[in-house]
């Protein structure tokens, strides 16, 4: 099993994902919110790469079953039903609904993997379930951190390193790239206190300034979910481990 890692979507062409098993990580907060939505019964979630496309899609859907969700600069977009806080995607709000999601980095990173064989959505909240699913398929995997504005982000890289650690523990023959080795070092350094690492990260500090401190606590809850959302044919649906 080979494990490779891209620290930002900008460092890879979309064709690289063709027919691969991919894992996308955006701990703060897109992938954590998607896991929360799926855990709470959302029927499907469609990640999009622009606000205009999100609007256009929602105009073509009807029946009151579709919600528009997402953020710009961390805050809910005017005219959208929901922002991008995992705490907003409660069962009362999302059960049975289709959700169109636009976020600054995460939804774009997921949409970029549209040619993959399958893309798993990962965060600290479902990390063991993702590892279990990957180990059961035993296929080589490409990890993709959403990062921040095309750059590295600490929280996504630590999560990727923790996931790689679980794969190394679960399988004898794992061949990891240099970027995975780097992520493993960071996961070993910061993995024991995810809450503190998130609070000290750049985006974590920004979110706290905007009043989202409770989101950080939620995003730090390792393995609170056993749901693995899978992006396939342009939509995300849930698989329970």
Please report, as ranges, the residues that interact with ligand MLT according to CB under 6 A: 26, 28-30, 71, 74, 84, 103-106, 146, 207
- Closer to ligand MLT by Cβ: residue 104 or 201: 104
Work out how close the CB of 89 gets to ligand MLT at its nearest, in angstroms, rounded to a whole number.
12
- Closer to ligand MLT by Cβ: residue 40 or 103: 103
Q: What is the number of H-type helices and E-type strands within the chain?
A: 10, 11
Distance separating alpha carbons of residues 100 and 162, to the nearest angstrom: 29
Distance separating alpha carbons of residues 213 and 149, to the nearest angstrom: 21
Q: State the residue number with the nearest CB to ligand MLT.
A: 103
Work out how close the CB of 22 gets to ligand MLT at its nearest, in angstroms, rounded to a whole number.
17
Q: What is the dihedral of CA 201, 204, 208, 210, to 10 degrees?
A: 120
The answer to whether residues 125 and 215 touch, using CB atoms and an 8 Å cutoff, is: no
- Closer to ligand MLT by Cβ: residue 66 or 104: 104
Work out how close the CB of 196 gets to ligand MLT at its nearest, in angstroms, rounded to a whole number.
18
- Closer to ligand MLT by Cβ: residue 49 or 55: 49
Distance separating alpha carbons of residues 197 and 193, to the nearest angstrom: 6
């Amino acid at each position: 099993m080979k494990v490779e890692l891209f620290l930002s979507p900008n460092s890879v062409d979309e064709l690289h994902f063709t027919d691969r098993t991919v894992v996308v990580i955006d701990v703060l907060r897109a992938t954590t919110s998607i896991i929360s939505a799926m855990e709470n019964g959302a029927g499907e979630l469609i990640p999009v790469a622009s606000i205009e496309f999100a609007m256009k899609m929602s105009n073509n859907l009807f029946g009151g079953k579709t919600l528009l969700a997402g953020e710009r600069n961390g805050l809910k977009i005017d005219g959208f039903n929901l922002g991008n806080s995992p705490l907003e995607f409660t069962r009362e709000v999302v059960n049975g609904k289709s959700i169109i999601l636009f976020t600054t980095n995460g939804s774009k990173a997921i949409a970029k993997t549209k040619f993959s064989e399958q893309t798993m959505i990962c965060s600290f909240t479902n990390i063991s379930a993702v590892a279990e699913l990957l180990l059961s398929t035993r296929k080589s995997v490409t990890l993709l951190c959403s990062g921040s504005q095309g750059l590295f982000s600490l929280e996504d890289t630590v999560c990727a390193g923790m996931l790689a650690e679980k794969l190394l523990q679960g399988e004898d023959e794992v061949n990891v790239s240099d970027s995975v080795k780097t992520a493993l070092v960071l996961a070993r350094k910061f993995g024991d206190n995810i809450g503190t690492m998130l609070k000290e990260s750049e985006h974590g500090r920004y979110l706290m300034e905007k009043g989202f401190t409770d989101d950080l606590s939620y995003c730090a809850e390792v393995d609170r979910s056993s749901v693995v959302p899978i992006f396939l044919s342009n939509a995300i649906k849930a698989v329970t481990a």
